[in-house]
Chain A
Amino acid sequence: MPRHTSLRRSIIVAIVAWIVFGFVLPPIHLDGKSMEPTFHDGSYHFYWRQSYLFASPARGDVVAIRFAGKKVVLLKRIIGLGGDTIAFENGVLFRNGHPVPEPYVRFRSNWNLKPRKVRPGRLYVVGDNRGVPMSQHHFGQVNSSRILGKVIW
């Protein structure tokens, strides 16, 4: 194969990889146990940046949430949309006054949180690992503009 063809191919592969992994399917390296057992500490995943271009975030979606930028992100599950009322009673999630079955939760401790309404334009997110004390778990309502995309793998 001529050298210039090989070089051209390498450049094309590099550009395609840059576009795909930079703007379409960015990779995430998980550091922490807040999404156990669905996602394990140290594992790699991808989120789909365009997932909410034509659709709205839905309850049950696992999403990437940005902080000041996109290098360090949070991975959480959406359990409530704007207008929903969220509460925890003895570790069981209550949405709009009804208990919600959560097959993805395997570690559950005695979480208790008084009912609170999710404000419009916000989403209520929490990790799947409820085995840790509530005070040590990052969860709550987040502005939907911070959602970077849905985790697809």
Chain B
Amino acid sequence: MMLLYAVRPAEAETPELVGLCGREIETVRGSEAALIAEECPRAPEPNRSMALRYYEIVDHLSRSAAVLPVRFPTVLSDRAEVGQELARRGSQWRRRLDELHGLAEMVVRATWPDQPTSARDAEQSVGSAYLRHRAAQVHAAEEVAGELEQRARRVCRDVRQLPAAEGVRLACLAPRTAEPELQQRLEEWRQEGAGRAVSLGGPWPPFSFVDQREAAAR
């Protein structure tokens, strides 16, 4: 079976890398895009260390050409099936690769003091009071997300809201060099309210921006 790593431009040279199954990764080229894959005797164990190793490989690939990371862990039966996927979606992938050239993903986490810090807090309330409290929380989160998104858009080419167990999480698509400016915008927001906290993760390959339609639905 073939373990998939990422989509890249067909003409990009693939660096020599050993994959999760201990074999050298290979390039299956279509006319416009290529799929980076590794032949594996069986699917890799889906655990944390494998997921991190997968990320390292995709990140390495992203440093020499644009990539569309493939969701981990995805396997296809053989090279022929990989070729069929390239024939079916190669043009669409190539358009997206061209749009993402030179861009990376950064993830913003923001919290503020007027929200519960654990699920236990919510369980201690009952009935309508709890529902009102939850509605206020959701409303506050929407307001903060909107405000942060507005500020991030001054730096980011695209912004997506990600699910968050606490506070707000946004994915920002921007050049790697834009990180200091994004930090500055976030710092301005943080200083405008007591108890606010912001963290910035990345830059990473654009996991949240591989496809306009799919990402918007997440």
A binds B: no
Residues of B within 8 A of A (CB): none
Residues of A within 8 A of B (CB): none
